Structure 1
Amino acid sequence: MTDAEESVSRRRFLQATGGTAAAVGLAGCTGGNDDAGGGGGGDGTETAATNTTATTDGTTESGGEGTPEGTLNLVNATMDTLDPVAAADTASGEVIQQLYDGLTNYVNGTTAVEPLLAKGFEASDDYTTYTFDLQKGATFHDGSEVTAEDFVYAFERLAGSENSRRSYFILDSLSVEHDTEGEEYKPGSLAVEAVDDYTLKLSLSKPFHATTEMLSYSSFAAVPQGIVGDVEGHDGQVRYEQFATASPTGAGPFEFETWEQGTEAEVSRYDDYYDGDANVERIHWQIISDPNAAYNYGQNRNSDVVSIPTSKYDPSKVQVEETDDKGRKFGTYGPLRNGETAQYMAAPQIGTYYAGFNMQAVPKPVRQAFAYVLNQELMVDQVFKGRGQPAYHLTPPPIFPNQNYEQHAEEYPYGYGESNIEKAKQVMEEAGYGPNDQFELNWTQYDSNTWESMAKILRDQLSAAHVSMSIEKAPFSTLLKRGRNGNLEAYSLGWIADWPAPDNFMQLLNPPQTDTSSSDAIMYTNWSSETGSAAEAAESAYNEIVDNLAPTDAANRARNEATLAMEEANWEDVSVAPVYHSVDERFYYDWLEIEPFGGMGPSRQKYTDARITNGE
């Protein structure tokens, strides 16, 4: 998907990348356009070019094998910005990840967090105060030293800049103490203090178990104090547009060279990087939004990583040789169209795609009938060509309570690995529907041929259960706008983790946060005691989660129990019907050496360790 995420509210709801169903965005809500294919395609595929020139259809004017020139040339989708607080798309985020550093970092996109500009930290006994010790001698690309005051400024921009699209990260999710004026953040009130040049103190309004994970987002990256004048007290050293598009200044392993919108972007190795020089001299992104053009670009040996859309994907060509303890698969894929055999890896992503229902417009028997006819395994195998995992919960397997996903999934009341049309027909007839009194259901989805194939299967099955389903496709931004206005009935969306824990997903099942008459709605289901008998149980369980957010074993056990209660409440009322959990894949040529990514996705991987070899 190439659309930029539309900001639904100042605080919430983001479009994100989705592994199997590649989309654009960093975290939160995603559409599910898998036509870009596993491995990236439309969400910032990592590819490397040789000395060839790409044409508009992805072919090349001159061919050639990958060469060890020290340049890693990647394919990316259309980018929005190079400002870390303004980025809400994966294409921008992948480049930003190379230019900027924060306090902490997800290690190669896994759920593990390591110190980055912070050497370490201490937390108070009540987990509401965090004190970070910063690296000494780390510098920005303009040569100035990184200090605690730079983080104070960067966090103020995240909270209060008119350019920030991630303010809810610091104000709501992390809950850094602050004042408000009405419902808006009061500028300058953020409880972030530079104790001295190398000590930063953060004060939270309540404990939060995923503090270091949240701080790993590039939104929290350091920028030079006062570089732009979009917060009170700072006139700015450069115009905002210049900073966001032509002269971004971070402290990451690569520094900015060029960005021509819709064409290319390039960064070069920062030789004074405090954590050691990157292996490659530069990274070049060729911007190709069309998935077929990106596919051709890779097949012409212009890319280290080959984008393979679902329409071109052949699961029989995957040969898995090893599976690690994170569930990541390694092997080969081939032959490709060009005769080469690619290296292959696949990693389960912390994300879920689902069918959602406006419960005010779609009665419970219809929602249950939908769940009965939906065969998740069939959809994954036949429609998505195995590029995902069947979903029976909103919470993805890597973070499911007590790693008990499959055992609990077998209790799914609408049929585990099967479609039960007769049961769907029965529940509809018990509600008074029949051949001459069918329920007319409108299904709205992102413009994806693969999702449309799934919808057509569901439409045909539901017709036998007295449900007449029409299919409508809409741009992602239109789908979101209609959803928050309460103008959807059934729809397809997904959620990618903001942080790798169940409570990030359970907020979508908290009934008050699904009320589309509220500006804070993050879901479009309108779940309440009037639309579902289990709404009160779901809300009570979510309150239990909110009351136990501390990073302690006891609080974690309470959150896990409440998560199971919320999943089962959703089973009862079917506010959403889970379809599949995303799996992201990477197909790459032998001449690339690159670390595997993890459950948080390849867009959060720094390319400092990547190497281009001679292929021998």
Structure 2
Amino acid sequence: MSERPLEPTRRDLLAGLGTAGGGALAGCSTTLGTGPSPTFRVGTLRPPITLDPIEARSIGSEQAIGRVFDGLYEYGEGTDVVPAIAAGEPAFGTDRREVTVEIDERARFQNGRDVVAEDVVYSFEAPLETDAPTAWRVEPFDSVTAVDERTIRFSLEEPYPGLDYALTHPIVPRQEREDDREAFATEPIGAGPFEVTSFSAEKKATLSRWGDYWGDPVPEIARLTMAYVEFPMTQLTSLRTNRNDAIEPVSPLIVDHVSDVANASVKRRQGYTSFYFGFNLNQGPTTDPRVREAISYCMDLEKAVADFVAPMGRRQYSPLPPQVADDWDMPTDEWADLANETNPETARQLFREADAASGQLRILTSTDPKHKEFGEALAGGLRDASRGALVVSKPESSFLETVVSGSARDYSVFVGEIVGTPDPDSHLYPTFHENMAGVTNGTFYREDAVMERLMAARETEDRERRRRLYEAAITRLLEDRVCLPICSFENSFAVDAGVRNFRVHPIAGVNPRLAAGADIVTMETEP
């Protein structure tokens, strides 16, 4: 549990850093790297927790893992999928229930061993054996088999519309991981362009370019560090003083001042990350729908998004980011009508009707500044409605374990974050389906009709049928107050002017992307 630190205002920020001084420093700065093989340093609010792709459940971990490991396929410029370890496009059977993939004969791991079909089979089966956080991605496969040393066959009982995204799952070396799983989580061996030099969970990952990388393109950046920075103001200071060459994500608190205090610019792109309040339907006062309804009257979410998120994100009214909801022609106006306006008196009345046990409602957040801001805002609203509230903020790894405990001692409400793809399944199934309760689902909601619809939607390629299933499931989730959607948040970096060709990808875990196609990130070096 931690006390909430005082956050600086925009005026405090400029006064502390000094706009004029910052501009002067930026003008005379700047040496990035020390020669033809520069280091790219990122100050992040999202620390990596593990480097094991099987057990990863956070953006920070996925960002580091994505540099060390390759999948059979990877994301292109957008959300299209292109071959990586795979030698070419997948071959589909006539009914699309079988998919065959050939491995590029050049592909090998960083210890020099070839990537073989047995490694691919293991990578897709291991999450299911341990109920890992990544299990939802590979669960639809009925079987994954090695046809020969370089050929894999994926079999499906039902069509799986998220297949393309599932095939980006990182490939790990079977024997090397099985030899010592604990060591593998900190010193892994992948087939990607960077090797792990050092790693300290929730603090820093240092990666070095693998000189014998077999794939294309090869990064120019020789060393990548991803270091945890706790506060946005500290991030900006590190960018100004050249301690970091980039920071991410860019807080709304500092976005308008990056160019004033540092020789840098903000690069942003609409992504698929969203925030929500989730309720504990397993134990405690929030198992009563009247309590959840009362809580929905305690906070002005429109104001919270305007204060804490704009202009780096926008309000959303369902578990789907606005661009996904729009692309799927979802009834967002109807869902917006289900959101209650702030009304402390109505909340007090509902709390009285529920006869909720006395005591404080526990609001669980991570130490991410955005999570804490939302948690404190809700706590303030609960107090206005004469209900005690306690915000409990935990480091990322502890938060991720606690938020799926289902224990009333741990939380009544939590601030959740969904990181998905353009497919609604990636936002809904891991977050709300009962199969993922206690793994990635902290609500423990159990409603057969919703579970059946979420499952049916991932077992048909009929887009209109999927749309109807998702619409019905989401409407019920909102009516039952299983969650209160808050906002979507852009993927963003503030990057020093000496960094060239840096582009933000819409899939959060793909960032920071240092080499893709013709876009090779380069850095100025000392004259």
**TM-score normalised to structure 2 length:** 0.78
In the alignment, the residues of structure 2 paired with residue 375 and residue 65 of structure 1 have an alpha-carbon distance, to the nearest angstrom, of 46
List per-residue Cα deviations over 1:98-157 (Å, max 9, x = no partner). Answer: 22211111235x432211111111222333321012223333333443332332344454
Per the TM alignment, residue 493 of structure 1 is displaced from its structure 2 partner at its CA by 2.3
List per-residue Cα deviations over 1:452-497 (Å, max 9, x = no partner). Answer: 5545544554556x44232231425368537524305642222323
Q: Which amino acid aligns with 2:83?
A: P
Helix, strand or coil: the match of 1:136?
coil
Helix, strand or coil: the match of 1:277?
coil
List per-residue Cα deviations over 1:427-448 (Å, max 9, x = no partner). Answer: 75478659x9998651412255
Q: Which amino acid aligns with 1:446?
A: T
In the alignment, the residues of structure 2 paired with residue 35 and residue 551 of structure 1 have an alpha-carbon distance, to the nearest angstrom, of 47
Q: Which of 64, 69, 81 is equivalent to 1:113? A: 81
Match in the other structure for 2:36 = 69
Aligned runs of 1:430-469 on 2, under 5 Å? 442-446=361-365, 448=367, 451-462=371-382, 466-469=385-388
Match in the other structure for 1:612 = 523
Change (3 A) 1:198 1:457: closer
Per the TM alignment, residue 210 of structure 1 is displaced from its structure 2 partner at its CA by 0.8
List per-residue Cα deviations over 1:49-98 (Å, max 9, x = no partner). Answer: xxxxxxxxxxxxxx743256332322366554444334444444333322
CA contact (8 A) 1:441 1:490 kept: no
Q: Which of 398, 407, 412 is equivalent to 1:486? A: 407
Change (3 A) 1:125 1:576: same
1:132 lines up with 2:101 in the alignment: yes
Per the TM alignment, residue 520 of structure 1 is displaced from its structure 2 partner at its CA by 5.2
Q: Which of 392, 413, 437 is equivalent to 2:317? A: 392
In the alignment, the residues of structure 2 paired with residue 150 and residue 134 of structure 1 have an alpha-carbon distance, to the nearest angstrom, of 11
Match in the other structure for 2:22 = none
Match in the other structure for 1:283 = 223
Count of aligned residue pairs for this structure pair:
490
Aligned runs of 1:18-417 on 2, under 5 Å? 64-67=30-33, 69-75=36-42, 79-107=48-76, 110-118=78-86, 119-160=88-129, 165-166=132-133, 168-169=135-136, 173-177=138-142, 191-218=143-170, 221-223=171-173, 226-228=175-177, 230=178, 243-246=184-187, 248-259=188-199, 265-280=206-221, 282-285=222-225, 287-291=227-231, 293-307=234-248, 310=251, 313-317=253-257, 333-336=258-261, 338=262, 340=263, 342-359=264-281, 361-362=285-286, 363-400=288-325, 402-404=327-329, 407-408=332-333, 411-415=336-340
List per-residue Cα deviations over 1:8-42 (Å, max 9, x = no partner). Answer: xxxxxxxxxxxxxxxxxxxxxxxx99989xxxxxx
Per the TM alignment, residue 604 of structure 1 is displaced from its structure 2 partner at its CA by 4.8
Match in the other structure for 2:23 = none
Q: Which amino acid aligns with 1:501?
A: D
In the alignment, the residues of structure 2 paired with residue 106 and residue 376 of structure 1 have an alpha-carbon distance, to the nearest angstrom, of 33
Q: Which amino acid aligns with 2:324?
A: I
CA contact (8 A) 1:377 1:390 kept: yes
1:562 lines up with 2:469 in the alignment: yes
1:540 lines up with 2:449 in the alignment: yes
In the alignment, the residues of structure 2 paired with residue 521 and residue 86 of structure 1 have an alpha-carbon distance, to the nearest angstrom, of 11
Change (3 A) 1:380 1:265: same
Q: Which amino acid aligns with 1:375?
A: D
List per-residue Cα deviations over 1:310-332 (Å, max 9, x = no partner). Answer: 4x824544xxxxxxxxxxxxxxx
Per the TM alignment, residue 267 of structure 1 is displaced from its structure 2 partner at its CA by 1.1
In the alignment, the residues of structure 2 paired with residue 372 and residue 431 of structure 1 have an alpha-carbon distance, to the nearest angstrom, of 11
Change (3 A) 1:437 1:106: closer
1:600 lines up with 2:507 in the alignment: yes
In the alignment, the residues of structure 2 paired with residue 393 and residue 289 of structure 1 have an alpha-carbon distance, to the nearest angstrom, of 31
CA contact (8 A) 2:128 2:139 kept: no
Match in the other structure for 1:233 = none
In the alignment, the residues of structure 1 paired with residue 227 and residue 350 of structure 2 have an alpha-carbon distance, to the nearest angstrom, of 54
CA contact (8 A) 2:41 2:225 kept: yes
Match in the other structure for 1:425 = 345
Change (3 A) 1:604 1:586: closer
Q: Which amino acid aligns with 2:69?
A: Y
CA contact (8 A) 1:214 1:498 kept: no
* RMSD of equivalent CA atoms: 4.1
In the alignment, the residues of structure 2 paired with residue 139 and residue 306 of structure 1 have an alpha-carbon distance, to the nearest angstrom, of 32
Change (3 A) 1:512 1:131: closer
Helix, strand or coil: the match of 1:381?
helix
Q: Which amino acid aligns with 2:345?
A: K
The unaligned stretches of length 5 or more in structure 1 are 4-31, 37-62, 178-190, 231-235, 318-332, 529-534
CA contact (8 A) 2:272 2:488 kept: yes
1:472 lines up with 2:413 in the alignment: no
In the alignment, the residues of structure 2 paired with residue 375 and residue 367 of structure 1 have an alpha-carbon distance, to the nearest angstrom, of 15
Change (3 A) 1:274 1:591: same
Helix, strand or coil: the match of 1:501?
coil
Q: Which amino acid aligns with 1:610?
A: V
Q: Which amino acid aligns with 1:85?
A: I
Match in the other structure for 1:18 = none
In the alignment, the residues of structure 1 paired with residue 455 and residue 416 of structure 2 have an alpha-carbon distance, to the nearest angstrom, of 23
Per the TM alignment, residue 216 of structure 1 is displaced from its structure 2 partner at its CA by 0.9
The unaligned stretches of length 5 or more in structure 2 are 9-28
CA contact (8 A) 1:271 1:277 kept: no
Change (3 A) 1:451 1:409: farther
In the alignment, the residues of structure 1 paired with residue 210 and residue 472 of structure 2 have an alpha-carbon distance, to the nearest angstrom, of 49
In the alignment, the residues of structure 1 paired with residue 336 and residue 156 of structure 2 have an alpha-carbon distance, to the nearest angstrom, of 39
CA contact (8 A) 2:43 2:247 kept: no
Q: Which amino acid aligns with 1:495?
A: E
CA contact (8 A) 1:141 1:270 kept: no
Change (3 A) 1:33 1:581: farther
Per the TM alignment, residue 379 of structure 1 is displaced from its structure 2 partner at its CA by 0.5
Q: Which amino acid aligns with 1:504?
A: S
In the alignment, the residues of structure 2 paired with residue 521 and residue 135 of structure 1 have an alpha-carbon distance, to the nearest angstrom, of 34
Helix, strand or coil: the match of 1:306?
strand
CA contact (8 A) 1:590 1:615 kept: no
Higher helix fraction: Structure 1 or Structure 2? Answer: 2
In the alignment, the residues of structure 2 paired with residue 241 and residue 443 of structure 1 have an alpha-carbon distance, to the nearest angstrom, of 33
CA contact (8 A) 1:176 1:204 kept: yes
Q: Which amino acid aligns with 1:141?
A: Q
In the alignment, the residues of structure 2 paired with residue 72 and residue 91 of structure 1 have an alpha-carbon distance, to the nearest angstrom, of 19
Helix, strand or coil: the match of 2:274?
strand
CA contact (8 A) 2:274 2:487 kept: yes
Match in the other structure for 1:571 = 478
Helix, strand or coil: the match of 1:444?
strand
In the alignment, the residues of structure 2 paired with residue 473 and residue 169 of structure 1 have an alpha-carbon distance, to the nearest angstrom, of 28
1:502 lines up with 2:409 in the alignment: no
CA contact (8 A) 1:361 1:489 kept: no
Change (3 A) 1:581 1:308: closer
Helix, strand or coil: the match of 1:297?
helix
Change (3 A) 1:146 1:91: same
